[in-house]
Amino acid sequence: MKVSLTVNGKPMSGEVEGRTLLSTFLRETLSLTGTHIGCDTSQCGACTVHVDGKQVKSCTIFAADVAGAQVTTIEGMANADGTLGRVQQAFQDHHGLQCGFCTPGMVMASAALLAVNPKPTEAEVRHHLEGNICRCTGYHNIVKAVMAASGQDVSMAAE
């Protein structure tokens, strides 16, 4: 079947089977390979995207189910002029990524948190990111980056 939707502000469409996951559709059909697949049990969060503004693990939803929706992926998070968006810039400034594999999911999850909770506490950030696994950073600089992106002083995050 054909599915049409808006991805990163652009209308897109492609042929899918009923069983095709949104993560597969993004990567294989639309070649948006910034969305990563790190597990097969919907635990790791590397495939996190926004569907109509809400944070969704794209491996938990069928492509056919998002027909007509507005989907945002990591490729759509930069500013219009191509510079890094607010959350992306905070991740670079605070070394919130190492190998980069979990990073797209972390950025999408963090942006979704800040959209509903503009000044989260450290505990709220850590709680919100429980569905996103990172093996490189020990989370220190990710949490710091998210708090910095919210405009908060991060000097309490001991260096």
Contact in structure between 28 and 94 (CB atoms under 8 Å): no
Per DSSP, what are the bridge partners of residue 7?
10, 71
DSSP state of 29: I
98 binds other proteins (CB under 8 A): yes
Binding mask 116-135 for other proteins (x = CB under 8 A): ------xx-xxx-xx-xxxx
3-state secondary structure of 4: strand
137 binds other proteins (CB under 8 A): yes
Cα distance between residue 34 and residue 1, in whole Å: 24
For other proteins, the closer CB: 23 or 69 = 23
For other proteins, the closer CB: 99 or 115 = 99
- The footprint of other proteins on residues 8-47 (CB under 8 A) is 27, 31-41, 43-44, 46
- Two structure tokens written together for 62: 């069928």
3-state secondary structure of 150: coil
For other proteins, the closer CB: 11 or 159 = 159
3-state secondary structure of 76: helix
CB of 157 to other proteins, least distance (A): 5
For other proteins, the closer CB: 98 or 152 = 98
Q: What are phi and psi of 51, to 5 degrees?
A: -120, 115
Per DSSP, what are the bridge partners of residue 10?
7
How many residues at the interface with other proteins, by CB under 8 A? 59
Footprint of other proteins (CB under 8 A):
27, 31-41, 43-44, 46, 73-75, 77-78, 84, 88, 91-93, 95, 97-104, 107, 122-123, 125-127, 129-130, 132-144, 156-159
